[in-house]
């Protein structure tokens, strides 16, 4: 038979697991919404690809007329990934 302190410890552990599951559902929903927004932004940039004559630098292809939307989606994706990664690392350390 368990003592009161053991039951309280188990109760707190269960509450923490439920809270973690709730946070994971929230983060899953946030990432799904972010995916939908980024996909919609990508669909809006339906300009056909045009080749760009560059001066030998790879980044000059981003200066083309049709690349603006793709660059915007890439920047938003990168910022979101950095924020989620920083949150996960900070959470793991605690």
Q: What pLDDT does residue 65 have?
A: 59
Give the C-alpha separation, 47 to 49, whole Å. Answer: 6
Contact (CB, 8 A) for 69 and 45: yes
The segments of the chain whose pLDDT lies below 70 read: 45-69, 94
Q: What pLDDT does residue 12 have?
A: 94
Give the C-alpha separation, 7 to 39, whole Å. Answer: 48
For 54, residues 6+ apart whose C-beta sits below 8 A from its C-beta are 60, 61
Contact (CB, 8 A) for 8 and 39: no
Length of the chain: 94
Q: What pLDDT does residue 7 have?
A: 93
């Amino acid at each position: 038979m368990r003592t009161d302190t053991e039951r309280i410890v188990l109760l707190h552990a269960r509450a923490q697991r439920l809270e973690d599951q709730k946070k994971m559902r929230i983060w899953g929903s946030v990432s799904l919404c972010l995916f939908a927004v980024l996909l919609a932004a990508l669909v809006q940039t339906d300009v056909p690809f045009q080749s760009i004559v560059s001066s030998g630098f790879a980044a000059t292809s981003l200066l083309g007329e049709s690349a603006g939307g793709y660059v915007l989606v890439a920047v938003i994706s990168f910022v979101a990934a950095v924020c989620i990664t920083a949150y996960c690392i900070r959470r793991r350390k605690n």
